[in-house]
Amino acid sequence: MKSKIIVTGGLGFIGSHTVVALHEAGFEPIIIDNLSNSQLSALDGIEKLIGYKPQFAQFDVNDAPALRQLIEESKPHAVIHFAAFKAVGESVEKPLMYYRNNVGGLVTLLEVMKETGLTDIVFSSSCTVYGEPAEIPVKESTITKPAESPYGATKQMGEVILKDNAPWCNTQCLRYFNPIGAHPSAEIGELPLGVPNNLIPYLTQTVAGIRESLTVFGNDYDTPDGTCIRDYIHVVDLAEAHVSAVKRLIDKSYQNAFEVFNIGTGNGSTVLEVINSFESATGLKVPHTIGGRRAGDVVKVWAETTKVENVLGWKAKRNLETMLRDAWNWQVKLSK
Ligand code: UD1
């Protein structure tokens, strides 16, 4: 029988790709999603890719009775916990909403896991915990910095909560760098609500004519072309990292109950390099202008990937052009 894996936020951008990767690796994903930042159409896309509609339960992870019932009925082997909000600016405006959903949701999930004897979890963390990194490339041992926003604080608190529960709970904590792209089939991808905050959806919407022009936030930073550097990673590579983490939990091959891994490619790209790479991958022009700096932006960050390669046995395979081509094909599909 296939091992069942609960995926909270399984209809979101990273969640939906992970559901597909879990199926491909021989697991049975069970999705929980409250549709607060996702759409049911993602379930149709998943069905097209895996050949059946996985079990889907629509409720909030703060709903302990619903969670308990689902876990008792389905007897999963592990949980991958994506369900959280992730917009930095919004978190400054509505901090309680972020603490309730991101911190409260995790606490509820852990309480129910403990009650039901479920001990294994993969947690979505972020390179935001490093702030402006003390060293580059960033290692898992690089010191974390005080959070710059409630969103960042919720990720740090999540890590602390999981660490404190290590006596009974086994965690694979994945610190994502900048996930972009979409499934190469263009059946699933990112579905930003309203005006996107992140670079790639804004860029693809601009090229699609939905937005007039992309503003590059600052070109006077201390980087080769003056624009900020990030470690962009293909969402399918990221999804596969979750499968490796789940296998490590199920095989009990971890060395510590709480383990943390950087999930990036190890390569940094500037905003202008992303624009150029998009243009050469697709042959399309990106209308853009240079604007002022965005408050709170980190100047440069990319991952040291030695630990994740050696210990988790995972390495990103897809390059920037592939990420951007897949992001564009998804945008074309959305715009139809
Ligand atoms: C942001 C968050 C990060 C969070 C992630 C997930 C900040 C400081 N960081 O990452 O904590 O985990 O989102 O949602 O907000 N850019 C432009 N023009 C745009 C949009 C972005 O030039 O219209 C630039 C940014 O200045 C940055 C790069 O593109 O240099 C990437 O930005 P973005 O996609 O928003 O990701 P992060 O800021 O890295």
pLDDT digits 0-9 by tens, 224-243 = 999 999 999 999 999 999 99
Catalytic one of 52, 99, 130, 151: 151
94/97 Cα distance (integer angstroms) = 5
Instruction: Give me the percent of the chain exceeding a pLDDT of 90.
Output: 97
**What φ, ψ does residue 304 adopt, rounded to 5°?**
-90, 125
In sequence order, the 6+-apart residues with CB closer than 8 A to the CB of 288 are 206, 213, 214, 215, 216, 275
State the pLDDT at residue 156. 98
Distance 298 CA to ligand 1 centre (A): 9
Find all residues with CB under 8 Å of 17, minimum gap 6, and list them. Answer: 183, 188, 235, 236, 238, 239
For residue 172, how far is its CA from the centre of ligand 1 (angstroms)? Answer: 25
Amino acid identity, position 1:
M
Q: What is the pTM of this model?
A: 0.98
User: pLDDT tens digits for 192-225?
Assistant: 889 999 999 999 999 999 999 999 999 999 999 9
Residue of 130, 187, 191, 192 lying closest to 155 (CA atoms): 130
Ligand 1 pocket list (CB less than 6 A): 86, 88, 126, 128, 152, 178, 197-199, 202, 214-217, 228, 230, 271, 294, 296-298
Average pLDDT over residues 295-313: 97
Atom of ligand 1 nearest to the CA of 152: 11
Which atom of ligand 1 is closest in space to residue 202's alpha carbon?
Answer: 23
Residue listed under structure tokens 């009974």: 168
Strand (E) or helix (H) holding 124: strand 120-126
- The torsion of the CA quartet 59, 63, 68, 73, rounded to 10 degrees, works out to -20
Q: Which of 14, 88, 180, 262 to mutate to test the pocket of ligand 1 (most atoms within 8 A of CB)?
A: 88
Note if 151 is an active site residue.
yes
Q: How far is ligand 1, taken at its centre, from the CA of residue 199, in Å?
A: 6
